[in-house]
Amino acid sequence: MNFEPNESQLQTQTIAREFAEKDLLPTIRERDASRAFPLDLFRKFGKTGIYGLPYATEIGGLGGSYLAYVLAVEEVSKVDGAFGIAFSVDTSLYGGSIANSSAPDAIKKKFLAPITYGEKIGSFGLTEHSAGSDAAGQRTVAVKDGDSYILNGSKCFNTNGPMADYTVIYCLTDPELGTKGMAAFVVEKGTPGFTVGQVEDKMGIRTAQVSDMHLTNVRVPVENMIAKPGEGFKLAMKTLDGGRIGVAAQGLGIAKGAFEIARKYMMERQQFGKPICKQQYLAFKMAELQTKIQAAELLLYKAAMAKEEGKPYTVPAAMAKLTCTNVAMEVTSEAVQMLGGNGYMKGYHVERMMRDAKITQIYEGTNEIQKLVISGQLFR
Ligand code: CAA
C-alpha cells in the first residue's frame, strides 16, 4: 500500500504551507487574543479553488483529491488550527453535505460552486442543545407549506455560523419517525426569521467563529431541500465521516507544528552546559512522539485514500480522528513541558496549540463516539 502523496498533491501541500507561513503566521498571536477571524485571508486562500478541491467539476468543485485537501488542512493547522477548522467545515461539512446529497447536479452546483473560490462560506447545522453526541435527538422541524418548507428550531456550536452565506440545516419533517423523518435544507443568510447568536468565547481555536443559529418561521423553497424526508440522518452521518478526516488532519497539523517548535527549541536551549536535546530522557520522549505522529499520519492518509478510492471509510475515518486528535493533545502538552516556563508564555505558540488541540478530541463526534463507531463495526 502506498500512501505517499503524488506530485499534484504535493503542489497543493506547498501552496498551503506557503500561505500558512507567509499570511497566517505573522498575525496569529494578535488574532488569538482578539478572536478576529481573518476573513480577507480566507478569501485570499480561496482564490486557489481550494475549498471545493475534492469535489467533481460537474457540481462546481475542482475535481481534485481528498488526500490533497487533507494535506492542505494539515499545513494550515500547523500554524493556525482555527483557520484549519474553518476550512475543514467549509469544505467537508458544508461542501460534503452538498456533494453527498441526492440533490440534482444543478442544485449542487448552485450551492457548491460559490464556496470553491471562497466567494461564499458554508456552515453545518446539526448539533442542538438536546442533540450533541445523540445526533438523533433533533427538535428542529420543517413543515411543508405549498412549494416551501417552514423551519423552526435552534442549532448550536455552528463553526463558521456567524459569517456563513449558506448553512445546511438538518431537521425533522416527521418527528414521530425520528432519524427516519429527517431532511436537510440549505438556508441562505438573510432569509427572514434566520438569525445568528453571539460569537462564542472559547478556550482554543479562538479565531474560529462559532455561534448558535435560530430559525423562527423560516420559509425555505423546496428546491433548497438537499436531503428528502428520511435521507437527512444518513446524509449527516456520511458527511461527518468525511468531516472527521478533516478534523484528524487539523489535529495532525497541530501536533506537527508543536513538535517542530519543540525540536528546534531543544537544539538551541542550553542547560547544564549542553543543548537540552542531549538529555537522553528528553530525546527519547521526542522519539516516542515522532513515532506516534507517523503512526497517526498513516491512519489519516489511509482514511483519505479509502474515501478517494470509493472504499468504505467510516471506521478508517473514526480511527484517524481518534488517533490524530489524541496525538495532538499529547504532543502539544509535551511541547509546553519541553519548553518549560517559555512554553507557558504566549510567544512560543505551543500554549495556544495546546488550547487548540483540546477541541479536536470533542467536535465532529467526541473521541468516545469514535470508539462507539469502531466497536460497533467489530461486534456487528
Ligand atoms: N454513514 C451512513 N449511514 C449511517 C452511518 C454512516 N456513517 N452511521 C449510521 N448510519 C445509518 C445507520 O445505518 C442507520 O440506518 P438504518 O436506520 O437504515 O439502519 C441509521 O443511520 C441510524 O444509525 P444508528 O442507529 O447507528 O444511529 P444512532 O442514533 O445510534 O447514532 C452515532 C449513531 C454514531 C452515535 C451518531 O449519533 C453520531 O455520530 N453522533 C455524534 C454526532 C456528531 O459527530 N456531531 C458533531 C456535529 S458537527 C460539529 O462538531 C460542529 C462543528 O461545526 C465542527
In this prediction, residue 204 carries a pLDDT of 98
Using CA atoms, how far apart are residues 16 and 80, in angstroms rounded to an integer?
A: 12
Query: What pLDDT, in 10s, does the model give residues 17-40?
Result: 999 999 999 999 999 999 999 999
**CB 240 near ligand 1, within 6 Å:** yes
Q: What spacing in Å lies between the alpha carbon of 369 and ligand 1's midpoint? A: 10
**CB 177 near ligand 1, within 6 Å:** no
In this prediction, residue 3 carries a pLDDT of 79
166-172 and 182-188 as β-strands: parallel, antiparallel, unpaired?
Answer: antiparallel
Residue 380 has pLDDT above 90, yes or no: no
Q: Which atom of ligand 1 is nearest to the CA of 376?
A: 26
Nearest CA to ligand 1 atom 52: 159
Compute the average pLDDT of residues 147-161: 98
CA 231 centroid distance within chain: 23
Task: DSSP letter for 60, please.
Answer: T
Comparison of pLDDT for 122 and 2, the residue scoring more: 122
**CB 157 near ligand 1, within 6 Å:** yes
Compute the average pLDDT of residues 74-99: 98
Q: What spacing in Å lies between the alpha carbon of 135 and ligand 1's midpoint? A: 7
**CB 313 near ligand 1, within 6 Å:** no
Contacts 24+ apart (CB under 8 A), 147-150: 147/221, 147/222, 148/219, 148/220, 148/221, 148/222, 149/173, 149/183, 149/185, 149/219, 149/220, 149/222, 149/225, 150/217, 150/218, 150/219, 150/220
Q: What spacing in Å lies between the alpha carbon of 296 and ligand 1's midpoint? A: 23
**CB 257 near ligand 1, within 6 Å:** no
**CB 159 near ligand 1, within 6 Å:** yes
Using CA atoms, how far apart are residues 325 and 328, in angstroms rounded to an integer?
A: 5
Nearest CA to ligand 1 atom 10: 234
Compute the average pLDDT of residues 341-358: 97
Comparison of pLDDT for 3 and 155, the residue scoring more: 155
**CB 314 near ligand 1, within 6 Å:** yes
**CB 377 near ligand 1, within 6 Å:** no
**CB 315 near ligand 1, within 6 Å:** no
In this prediction, residue 1 carries a pLDDT of 75
Question: Residue 219 — pLDDT band, cuts 50, 70, 90?
Answer: very high
Query: What pLDDT, in 10s, does the model give residues 251-261?
Result: 999 999 999 99
Q: Which atom of ligand 1 is nearest to the CA of 159?
A: 53
Nearest CA to ligand 1 atom 34: 373
In this prediction, residue 4 carries a pLDDT of 87
Name the 3-class secondary structure at 182.
Answer: strand
Question: Residue 71 — pLDDT band, cuts 50, 70, 90?
Answer: very high
Compute the average pLDDT of residues 56-67: 97
Best residue for ligand 1 mutational test, from 237, 360, 367 (most atoms within 8 Å of Cβ)? 237
In this prediction, residue 319 carries a pLDDT of 98
Q: Which atom of ligand 1 is nearest to the CA of 158?
A: 53
Question: Residue 2 — pLDDT band, cuts 50, 70, 90?
Answer: confident
Q: Which atom of ligand 1 is nearest to the CA of 124?
A: 53
288 is catalytic: no
Q: How far lies 149's CA from each of 103, 145, 183, 306, in Å?
A: 16, 5, 11, 37
In this prediction, residue 289 carries a pLDDT of 98
**Which grid cell is 46?**
480561496
Query: What pLDDT, in 10s, does the model give residues 125-153?
Result: 999 999 999 999 999 999 999 999 999 99
In this prediction, residue 6 carries a pLDDT of 95
Q: Which of 128, 200, 351, 364 is catalytic?
A: 364
Q: Which atom of ligand 1 is nearest to the CA of 88?
A: 54
Query: What pLDDT, in 10s, does the model give residues 290-329?
Result: 999 999 999 999 999 999 999 999 999 999 999 999 999 9
Task: DSSP letter for 249, please.
Answer: H
Using CA atoms, how far apart are residues 173 and 150, in angstroms rounded to an integer?
A: 10
